Chains A and B, each alone.
Chain A
Amino acid sequence: MKKNLMTVLAALMAVSLTACGGASANTTASSAAASETSAGAASSSAASSSDAANLTIWSPTDKESVENWWTEKIGEWNAANPDIQVTREAIDRSDSYAYDNKVATAVTSSSLPDIFFVDGPQVSYYAANGIIVPLDDYFTADDLKDFVPSTVAQCTYDGKIYAMSATESSVAFYYNKDMLREAGVDVDDLDSRTVDNPITWSEMRDIAEKCTTADHVGTHIIMDHGEGLPYALEPMYISNGKDYINDSGDTAEGYVNSDEAVKTSAFLAQLIADGYANIEPITDEFLNKACATMLGGSWDVSVLSENADFDWGVTYYPVSDATKKAVSPCGDWSAAISKDCKDTAAAGKFLQWLMNTDNVATYAAAIAKPATRNSSYETEAMAEYKNYPLSLMVEQLNNTASPRPRTPSYASFSTKYAEAMTNIFSAAASDHKVDEAYIKEQLDSVAADFTEDYNTYYAK
C-alpha cells in the first residue's frame, strides 16, 4: 500500500512539475500559432516565424485609446517584421506602487519581460541594480537632440541612457474661473501670466483663501498618497532653494530635511491646516467642483476639455516668493530593455521604431500627454499642442522642467517621503495648525532612511 501511495504521490509531483515546465513550451506553441496567423499561414512565413525573435512588453493598462494604439502598432510591426514578433501584456497599475511590485516579483524569479515600462524616477533604481541595460547603441547623441532635455536627463544614469520615453508630463495651476470671479479674484491677471511671471506661493494661498467656502475648498495639492506627492510637489522645494536630494543622488541629509524644505512643507501643510485644501480629496475633485484651483497634471487638460461644464483656465506652476525661481515637474513612463532579454539587438531595433517621430506623436495624442520629441509637435497628431492650454505644458517642459532625483535609492525615498508628508498633512488637518518641529522630525526620518538605504546597498 505504501508503495502504491508513493507511486501516486510521485506521479502527481511529476505531473505538477511537468505542468510548470510545460508553460513555456505551451506559450511558445501558442505564440508560434499566433504569428503564423498574422503572417497569413504561408509556409515560408511559418518557417521564418519559428526562427523569429519573440519579444514581450509590459506596460501599464491604460484607457481605451491607448490600448487601441498598442494593438494597432504591434500589428503593424509584426506584419512588417516577421523576424521580430512582439507581444504586449497590459499590467494593471491599480495604484501608485502596484506595477512596481509586479516588476519586483519578476526580478526575484528572473521572469522579466524583454521590454518593460518604468516610471521615470525608477530608471536610476533599476539601472543601478542591473535590472535594465544601456540603450546607447540604439539612441545616438544625434537622436537624443530631438528629445526634450528633461526626458534625456531622467532616462540617464551614470552617463548612460537606460530607457526612453515617448511622453512627458507637467503640472500646472488650474483654476475654475466661475468660482474665482465669484470670490473676487482677478481672473484676467491669472490668464495673462507668462513663464517668466508665474504666480507666487502667497498669491496661490490668497486665491485659495478667498475661494474656500462651505461648498468647496480653495485648492488641491494632493495628487495621491504615493508617488504623486514627490512628483507634484518637488518643484516647490527646488524653487525654495533645496531639492530633495543632492545632484549626485547620494545625499538627502541637509536637503529633504533642510530649513528650506521644512518651510516648503510648512507652507503646504498650512493650506491643509487652514482648510483651504482637502487632506482626502475626492477623485477628480476639480472637475467635480469640490475645489476652486488645483495643482493638476498635463493630462487633466483633456479630461477637463471633454467633461467640464464650467469656465476654467490654467497657468504656470507657482514659484517661491523668496526666489521667484520657476520650476515644474516632469517625467513619465519610459521603455527599457530588461536584463532577462535574450535578444537585446531585436529589442533595441523595436524600441528605435517605437520611439520614432510618428509613433511618439500618435502615442502622445492617444494618451493625452506631451510628446518627448520636438519633431513630433510638427505632426498633425500633435497640432493642438501649439495652442493654449497645451502649449503652456510644452513651454514648461522646455524651460522649467526638472526631473525627479536620479538616485538608486529613489524607491525607498519615494515611499518614505510620501509617508512623511501624509503624516505632516494629517497632523495639520487634525490640529488645525502647523508644527514645524514635527515637520523637521518627519523629514529627518526621511533623510535617515535614505542614508541607510543608500549606504547599505549602493555606497562604494
Chain B
Amino acid sequence: MGRNDLARHALGDDRPMSSTAPRHTALDALHRSLGATMTDFAGWDMPLRYGSERDEHLAVRTKAGLFDLSHMGEITVTGPQAADLLNYALVGNIASVGIGRARYTMICRADGGILDDLIVYRLAETEAGSSHYMVVANASNAQVVLDALVERSAGFDAEVRDDRDSYALLAVQGPESPGILKSLTDADLDGLKYYAGLPGTVAGVPALIARTGYTGEDGFELFVAPGDAEKLWQALTEAGAPVGLVPCGLSCRDTLRLEAGMPLYGNELSTSLTPFDAGLGRVVKFEKEGDFVGREALQEAASRASENPPRVLVGLVAEGRRVPRAGYAVVAGGEVIGEVTSGAPSPTLGRPIAMAYVDAAHSAPGTEGVGVDIRGSHEPYEVVALPFYKRQK
C-alpha cells in the first residue's frame, strides 16, 4: 500500500479536486457523527460511505437506503413564458409536462454538445398565468446551467432564480421506501407516479415529494428547507431502520446507477458528445414548436448517429475479477476500439461491469473477442445491452 495510492484513490473520487474550500451540506455534522468517510465531490464535502459500500448498495436493492444529495443544484424558473424559455433553452418538450410531473432532459450548446443532464419538475402555479418549474442540475454543472438559462432567458417574460441554497435534498430509495414514507406523510403516495412530484408534509416538514431517483429502484427524493433536513433525516432513519434502511454514500449511488445503465455527467456525458452520441437521442424533441438551442447541430448529429455512428455506448461484463476503470482502453484483436467511461465491481451481478464507448462494429451484444486493457493485461469482457439491472415491477 502506498501512501500516495491511499491519498489519490481510496480517500477520494476520480474527479478533480476543487481549488477552493469544500462546501458542507446541512447534514454535515450528522454524517460525521455517523462515522462517514467523506469525499470532495464537485466542490462539496459529501459522504462517500458510512460502512461497507457493498452493504449499502445491497440495502437499496433489497430494502432501503437514505442519501444526502444536497449538492444537487436547484434552479427555479417562473413566469408567463417559463415554458417557452425552457423549450428554447433545453432539448426536451417542457411545455408538454403537466403540473405535478417531471421530465428527464438535457441542456446543450449550439453545437449540440451536452452541457448537463437535468430533471425538470413542473410545480403548481403560484399566481395565475405564471407557470413554475424547478430545474435540478448536477452539482458540477449547476453554475454553467444557471448561466446558460439566464443568458437564454433574454426576451422571454420569465425569471430564472438560483435556488441552490434554498433546498436540502434527501433521497429514500429501495423497495421499502414507499412504506417508510407512508408512515410519515398523509400525501397520496399511491397516486404519485414515477417521474411525478407533489408538495406535502413529511414528518412535519414541508417538502416537495418526488418519485425520482438514480438507483434503478423505486424511491423518492425530498426537497426541503436546509433547516429541516436534520429533523427529516432522523425521522426517516427511525421509521426505516426496522425494515432495514441504512444511510448510503455516493460510492454506492455510483454503482447503483451504473448497474441501472444511467449515465453520469463527466463520464458518459460531456460537451464533446451530443445526446445522440450517448444513445439518448430520445430526449431531443425536434417536433416541438419553435427553435431551441442546438436544433440544427442536433439534426445533423441524429442523421450521423443513425447512418454512421462513430462510437456506441455499450455494457461490458467481466469474465474475470479485475475491475475496469474510467479511461481504460477497450481492445479487440490487439487494436483499441473504445474507452471505458465508468467501471466498478457490481454487487448485484457479482462481477466487474463497465460502460464504454466502442466502435459500432464491436457494439452488438455478444460480440466476440472484446477485452479491456487493465494496466497492460487484456482481460476478456462480454458486450451486453444496457442496463445491467432492471428491477422487477
A is bound by B: no
Give me the interface of A with B, judged by CB distance under 8 Å.
none
